[in-house]
Structure 1
Amino acid sequence: MFDGLHSHRPWWQFTSLEELIIIIRDRVSAGDRIGLVIGGGAPAREGIDLARPLIDDVHHLDKIGIAATRLNATIVREVLSDAGVSVSGTIPRRVDEAVQLLESRPVVVMGGTTPGHTTDAVAIRFAIAASANRCIIATNVAKVYSEDPRNNPNANAFDKLTHDELQDIVGPDKHTIAGRSSVVGPVGVGEANRANMALNILDGRETNLIKAALEGNDFQGTIIFTERV
């Protein structure tokens, strides 16, 4: 079984790397293959904000964010390797490269790829290309909400949504602003919808939720599915 797992922010901001190692090691022992796509988090946003007054081209700003994701991915890869987890020896720069690496190692860690592709979209494309059972999005909110709960404490939380419903919440299927943060990137939602890829969205700060989702058990969060007529 293969699961794609995407963290919006570096793992060490959500939970200890030690807990991540235990989760990944247990799933590998159970015969799973796991693709980890690590987001840029605060380093990416801070770098982009620093350069934004001087750079107009969104693709150039994206490159700053991508560099941050690859640094974060390298940290996670090295920690996993040092702990004895059989992880790919390099950080792939393309999804097809990641899929190829997954044929020889049960764990592959990567960051961003090219401008215009958020790590949400990369994780979902990786999951689709590797025929994953699901793509798990570990973010910093408990569920998908009708609005940002930090701005509206009365926003509605959802246990289940269709891809179309999620697309309505996050916005049109296009990339326009570097460093923009949403529960799932709109381009990634569009990719998942077209491929009928199930998404599990959960609070990555709660290690037990990540473990439950990887094991295919019930978890507190939001399940995204496609309604086919």
Structure 2
Amino acid sequence: MTTKVLSVGGSIIAPDKPDENFLFEFSSMICSWLSENKDARLILVAGGGGPARNYQNSYKAVSEKFDENQKKLSAFEDSEKLNYACDWIGIMATRLNAQLLKTVFGPLCSQDVVTDPTKVSDFTGRILIASGWKPGFSTDNDAVLLAERFEADTVVNLSNIEKVYTDDPRKNPDAKPIDNISWSDFRKMVGDEWVPGKNCPFDPIASKKAQELGLKVICAGGKNIGNIKAVLDGKNYIGTTIS
């Protein structure tokens, strides 16, 4: 049985609220693809998206007011506390999105949502849904760990960008799209540090682990359903391959 892992960004599941059109089109394509590929199964790892950032930003605003009034914690302790709390808020948002995906796929997903990728021992259905695990990294890292556990050689990272760029194209008009990049060069771009809510093509912690495992990661736009199918079919696709 071939296992493919898709890290489904929260920005496409729920950019602000659940995107019903995306959920319908994505689930319809996945169900059709699985019916055509009887020897394949899919792991879908849900991100937090808009709800995660909205709740994180609200916590940050309240925390700043609280700390200004109380003056009890050092700046370092404030930062540590803030990141830890924001990570957990983001994790809870991923679990809500993951439960939504599980419900959408119904009987194809017979197991509970995976919240700890190191403790899942089997895969009984055609689809396994996972969410965030613990602070310190994003769901990209959970996707990498599940790829390792179930011997998948590729993680498809679906987000709101079609390709990785040399720089943020929203800020730098000279930024160029990248078709292929090595892990060493990619990691120079994203660094080694994880910050909750960090906006980067693939989590730095996950990138380090993926490089160690020799995994290939494909970054592609999550709204282009036909392109996602092309990736699953091993056909020409629009995206960036990191290997």
Structure 1-normalised TM-score?
A: 0.89
Structure 1 contact 143–203 (Cα < 8 Å) conserved: yes
Residue 35 of structure 1 and its aligned partner are, at CA, apart by 0.5
Task: Tell me what 2:43 maps to.
Answer: 35
Q: How does 1:94-133 map to 2 (within 5 A)?
A: 94-98=116-120, 100-102=121-123, 104-133=124-153
Choose which of 201, 207, 214 in structure 2 pairs with 1:183.
201
The aligned amino acid for 1:169 is M
Amino acid at match of 1:113: W
1:18-73 CA-to-partner distances (Å, cap 9, x unmatched) read 22222221332212111000100010011111112417311121100000000011
In the other structure, the counterpart of 1:11 is 13
Could you tell me how far apart the structure 1 residues matched to 2:216 and 2:171 are? 28
Structure 2: where are the runs of 5+ without partners? 65-77
Residue number in structure 1 paired with 2:239: 221
Contact 2:14–2:50 (8 Å) recurs in 1? no
> Out of 222, 225, 228, which is 1:210 matched to?
228
Q: Structure 1: which 5+ runs fail to align? A: none
Structure 1 consecutive aligned stretches of length 4 or more whose deviation exceeds 6 Å: none
2:154 aligned with 1:152, yes or no? Answer: no
- Asked whether the equivalents of residues 101 and 108 of structure 1 are also in contact (C-alpha less than 8 Å), the reply is no
| Contact persistence 1:88–1:101 (CA under 8 A) | no
Name the amino acid aligned to 1:3.
K
TM-score, structure 2 length as denominator?
0.84
CA contact (8 A) 2:5 2:43 kept: yes
Q: What is the aligned partner in structure 1 of residue 105 from structure 2? A: 80
| Equivalent residue letter for 1:114 | K
Letter in 2 for 1:11: I
CA distance in 1, matches of 2:49, 2:240: 21
RMSD of aligned residue pairs (Cα, Å) = 1.6
Q: Mark the CA change 1:200 to 1:128 in structure 2 (over 3 Å): closer, same or farther.
A: same
Higher-helix-fraction structure:
2
- Give 1:50's aligned residue: 58
